[in-house]
A and B are shown apart, each in its own frame.
Chain A
């Protein structure tokens, strides 16, 4: 057994209509975290009604897990006020790190003014904003809602917000835009959670962005942390950069110090 030290910056809990999951519960993720030396995980929600129902449990489980699984509330622009009301009592609590956007799932363009309240909320409270990002996809058209450059207006308007493009723009053309934004804006980070299983991806990305911008995440329980974790450990990059990707960058982006 190794002393846990890694941060998995992108997980979920619970069941989904989309996919089968044999181990979606908190106990299973804690067990897996211990096995893989993952010290902290950052859990986000995407469906507001589910998030609202689970929020008390989330705080309780944070304490039960020895304060290891942190929380990002969901911001659904269709129900923005309620989303912010729900998470407002958590501001200042250690468990609460910020908000998650999912324009593809919520079918609302990232430029829409309905998102302004979320950006302002995160800016005013010195929190972090995570968003789903992807590439234009011929078989999944709603991904066009989440291409990285579409968030750029708000990135410029709220430069102090630590903003994480989840999935780093995906496997296609969104990657190029994600790279550009990470290079152009100080507070834009890229997590490679999910099945961005491109060949020699870690090495390729580190040639395109500073090592300080890339964050390890799994997308558990949809994807298994063992996949992306071993890609970092087995990649041909130096140990200092592995430390940044697995630990340091998430600490900075999510203000976990």
Chain B
């Protein structure tokens, strides 16, 4: 058996992490809510942090989209991305299209072409994730080939099961924040088996053997890298990927290729 020093193992892991070409679906600006040890990051600080964590770009959200209002978060992001930022794209927060609400909202106002995904907070914003409430937004997103994102803590599994069935052409990315997704595997795994348009962001998909098991069950194309930075540590999903049992091509799909395909496919 080969004996390596800690320094050699660290260097090897860093080299492999850099080779993954990571695109991150879960980077956040603004003040995090409910995480007393986390601090807000400006875009330049976030960008610098991505460099330290082998992340080459991805999707950026704003906490105000949850803590203030969808429109406030979308305004912040529009201002922030006004000057363009190569390989970084905003996620807008969405609401049901009826009753119509004022301000910058997907489907209800002009949306900058840099926006590549929409996230909803059904529990926070007090609406059901059901077709009769969210269907018109889903149709709008399908027309743009744009994914719908949602934290698992914001959804009801039965509602998501029905919605994903009602709109099979809509990519729905379930996000593993902001609490343990591992307590919900007995719902999540059957959902992913039944609804092929449900993808999973993996920042908190760190249960023992979860990634190996789930990739074996559903294929690497169903998983999207996310860090949930600056609340969470990007090296958690990086570490899960580096030592995953799947092949190098599958690791690269999860690390960035799957998200790149989605971003590239969005129609402005």
Judge if B17 is at the interface, Cβ distance under 8 Å.
Answer: yes
- Supposing A139-B179, A243-B6 touch, asked if A230 and B235 sit within 8 A by C-beta, the answer is yes
Contact indicator B37/A222 (Cβ below 8 Å): no
With both beta carbons as reference points, the residue of chain B lying nearest to A37 in the complex is identified as: B9
Contact indicator A239/B2 (Cβ below 8 Å): no
Which residues of chain A come closer than 8 Å to B17, judged between CB atoms? 234
Contact indicator A221/B208 (Cβ below 8 Å): yes
Chain B 195-229 interface residues, beta-carbon cutoff 8 Å to A: 204, 206-213, 229
Which of B96-104, B106-114, B163-171, B180-188 contacts its partner? B180-188
Selected from B7, B36, B210, B235, the residue in CB contact (under 8 A) with A234 is: B235
Contact indicator B189/A227 (Cβ below 8 Å): no
- Supposing A175-B37, A197-B204, A198-B232 touch, asked if A224 and B211 sit within 8 A by C-beta, the answer is yes
Which residues of chain A come closer than 8 Å to B211, judged between CB atoms? 224
With both beta carbons as reference points, the residue of chain A lying nearest to B4 in the complex is identified as: A2
Judge if B132 is at the interface, Cβ distance under 8 Å.
Answer: no
With both beta carbons as reference points, the residue of chain A lying nearest to B188 in the complex is identified as: A20
Contact indicator B209/A224 (Cβ below 8 Å): yes
Judge if A229 is at the interface, Cβ distance under 8 Å.
Answer: yes
Contact indicator B206/A197 (Cβ below 8 Å): yes
How many chain A residues have a CB neighbour from B under 8 Å?
48
- Supposing A198-B38, A220-B208, A239-B6 touch, asked if A226 and B240 sit within 8 A by C-beta, the answer is yes
Judge if A195 is at the interface, Cβ distance under 8 Å.
Answer: yes
Judge if A257 is at the interface, Cβ distance under 8 Å.
Answer: no
- Supposing A222-B208, A227-B206 touch, asked if A239 and B10 sit within 8 A by C-beta, the answer is yes
Contact indicator B208/A223 (Cβ below 8 Å): yes
Contact indicator B1/A3 (Cβ below 8 Å): yes
Q: How far is the CB of B24 from chain A (nearest CB, A)?
A: 13
Contact indicator B210/A22 (Cβ below 8 Å): yes
Selected from A19, A171, A223, A228, the residue in CB contact (under 8 A) with B185 is: A19
Judge if A35 is at the interface, Cβ distance under 8 Å.
Answer: yes
Selected from B186, B231, B238, B244, the residue in CB contact (under 8 A) with A198 is: B231
Which residues of chain A come closer than 8 Å to B233, judged between CB atoms? 197-201, 231
How many chain B residues have a CB neighbour from A under 8 Å?
47
Which residues of chain B come closer than 8 Å to A229, judged between CB atoms? 239, 243
Contact indicator B182/A199 (Cβ below 8 Å): no
Q: How far is the CB of B9 from chain A (nearest CB, A)?
A: 6
CA distance A213 to B2 in the complex (A): 29
Chain A 167-187 interface residues, beta-carbon cutoff 8 Å to B: 171-173, 175
Q: How far is the CB of B220 from chain A (nearest CB, A)?
A: 16
Contact indicator B230/A199 (Cβ below 8 Å): yes
With both beta carbons as reference points, the residue of chain B lying nearest to A200 in the complex is identified as: B233
Contact indicator B231/A224 (Cβ below 8 Å): no
Judge if A242 is at the interface, Cβ distance under 8 Å.
Answer: yes
Judge if A236 is at the interface, Cβ distance under 8 Å.
Answer: yes
CA distance A231 to B210 in the complex (A): 18
Which residues of chain A come closer than 8 Å to B86, judged between CB atoms? none
Contact indicator B36/A239 (Cβ below 8 Å): no
Contact indicator A20/B6 (Cβ below 8 Å): no
User: 1/0 per residue B229-258: CB within 8 Å of A?
Assistant: 111111110111011100000000000000
CA distance A220 to B209 in the complex (A): 9
Which residues of chain B come closer than 8 Å to A116, judged between CB atoms? none
Given A2-B2, A197-B233, 12 new contacts (CB under 8 A) = A20-B185, A21-B209, A198-B35, A198-B232, A199-B38, A218-B208, A223-B182, A226-B243, A230-B242, A234-B10, A234-B235, A239-B7
Can you list 28 A-B pairs with a CB-CB distance of less than 8 A? A1-B1, A1-B2, A3-B3, A19-B180, A19-B182, A20-B182, A20-B207, A21-B209, A22-B210, A23-B209, A24-B208, A139-B179, A172-B37, A195-B180, A197-B204, A197-B236, A200-B233, A221-B209, A222-B207, A223-B182, A224-B206, A224-B209, A224-B240, A230-B236, A234-B17, A235-B235, A243-B6, A246-B6
